[in-house]
Amino acid sequence: MKFANNILETIGNTPMVKLNKVLGEDFPALVLAKVETFNPGNSVKDRMAVKMIEDAEKDGRLKPGGTIIEGTSGNTGMGLALAAIVKGYRCIFVTNTKQSKEKADVLKALGAEVVICPTDVAPDDPRSYYSVSRRLAEETENAWYVNQYDNLSNRQAHYEETAPEIWEQTDGRLTHFIVGAGTGGTVTGCGMFFKEKNPNIKIIGVDTYGSILKEYHETGELHPENAYTYITEGIGEDIIPENYDMSVIDHFEKVTDKDGALYARKLAKEEGIFCGYSAGSAIAAIKQLQHQFTKDDIIVVLLHDHGSRYVGKIYNDEWMKEQGWI
């Protein structure tokens, strides 16, 4: 008989799917989508969530019966919650008002407590979800604050698992790797692996307007005052997490809130791939960079999470009309 001993053993080995229509018939290169929605938590974040927990168990930061506390836009929380159920931990997740209601509801369905903070406050504001997460970790007995932003197990998971899968699936022939950039774990972890294998592979992070990642990458200067509120979920930052190694990233491409939403809908209707906001942004970024690609290029784009988490927003016509986007 073939079966997994628990749901965590089903993480990884997600499919690679050729994109045929969404980028247009005149698109020059082969584009392959690494569809991470096939993970049990429906996102790439399952990989690093389990890695962070297992590393914390090994070095004693997370003790039996402990409480896992994290600030999350939803997907990391989902992966942590699945692992906590299997391993016997309690979870408290802190998110903000920008994130879709579906994400918070899913976390609650998995037994987690959810605290919601305002979006439009500075990272060091005591009301921010960064600050509230740290405070709860200090106040809660036997708690472990995950801190996916600065926890290097995040990027290590992608260096050890995600990138080698992609390398094998493409026979090492990929020329470009494109992925939404948030905590920095996926883009850096995969970037480190690919650059070791072939320094000519281009690593492109997808950023959004209102984020400071692209500016910091190009100037090396940190100007948090240049950050402003945006609608896109799952990518962009108003801080520079420690998971980033900017030296392995060749370029950041910014995409508007509108284009990310429209291309997510386009991906669903034209390819049958139902993914989230950051996936739309990644596809839009590829389209924006079309002039740089040739017929010999093999582009891998990682699609982070599932569209079911955005049915009240980008997949809702009324919401899209309120934004003036359709």
Name the residues annotated as catalytic.
45
Q: What is the identity of the amino acid at 186?
A: T
Terminal C-alpha separation, the chain: 50
Q: In what order do the strands lie in the sheet with 67-71?
A: 113-117, 90-96, 67-71, 143-145
The SS3 call for residue 113 is strand
- Paired tokens of 280: 């739309």
* Residues 112 and 105: beta-carbon distance below 8 Å: no
The SS3 call for residue 91 is strand
- Paired tokens of 43: 């996102």
d(CA 233, CA 206): 12
Q: Which helix (H) or strand (E) holds 105?
A: helix 101-109
d(CA 19, CA 11): 23
Size of the chain in residues = 326
* Residues 273 and 303: beta-carbon distance below 8 Å: yes
